[in-house]
Every structure is written in C-alpha cells, then in structure tokens.
Amino acid sequence: MVTPLAWMVGASVGTWLVLTLSAGDVNPEALFGMLGPLASACATWIVVARAAAVPERVTGVMVTGLMVKMMFFAAYVAGMLKGAELRPVPFVVSFAGFFIALHAMEAVFLRRLFAEMARSSPPARSAAEDAGSHSRARMEHKG
C-alpha cells in the first residue's frame, strides 16, 4: 500500500518542482493544480487497497468513490478559480495534467492489485461444478 502512494506523491512533487524551476511564474496555480488530483488519487488508493481484503466490496467502493470524486472535483475547481482567484489557464493546465497522469498511475497500480487478488484467491467454481458436487454428496449420503 505504501509503495504506490510513495510513487504518486514522489512523481507529483518531482514534476511540480521541475515545473516551478523551469516554467517561471506558474505558482500557486501549478501547486493547487497538483494538490487536488494528488489528494484524490491517494485517498482512492488507500480506500480501495483496504477494501481489497474483501474482494466482493471493491466494485461498490470504486463506484462510491467515483461519485465522491465527481463532487470533490466540482467543488475543488470552483473553489480554486472563484474562491482562491487563481489564474485559470495555468491552474487548468496543471490540474488536467496531474489529473490524467495520476489516474493513469492509479490504473496501473490497481491492475497490479487486482492481479495479485486473482492469484491469491481460489479459482471460482462454475454452477455446473456446484450442482455436480451437490448431486455426488446426495448419492454418497444415500449410499
């Protein structure tokens, strides 16, 4: 759980530092363009990684997380542009770049998590296999 968080935070802060040092006057917009998507990606990773302990819960947690993210991002962007009065172009460019990059990283980490879950869980039984085992159990019980 810690490694994906470290990668997301490290890549984001590193990118922000490069932007700050090379692009001139991009702050505070670049910083706030990074913070919202980074907070969202980290929170999503923590919640989904914990839910993975009970695989049946993961889909529901992800759907709920999507709804929460939609509300968070609407409020966050409006608050940054209206409330904090950030310059729109640098903020939106930074926000969009970090949003896309962090979601791509999150997708890679989630794919790995789901692959590990699939390897560690027993293979699913088909309905036919279940029916066959019930029939054999009844026959053995009668026999």
With contact defined as beta carbons under 8 Å apart, do 20 and 26 qualify?
yes
pLDDT in tens, the chain (143 residues): 569 999 999 999 999 999 999 987 899 999 999 999 999 999 999 999 899 888 889 889 999 999 999 999 999 999 999 999 899 999 999 999 999 999 999 999 989 988 888 887 666 555 555 555 555 555 555 55
| Domain residue ranges of the chain, discontinuous segments joined by + | 2-142
CA distance to 16, 80, 83, 92, 119, per residue, from 76 (Å): 19, 6, 10, 12, 38
**What is the CB neighbour count within 10 angstroms for residue 130?**
10
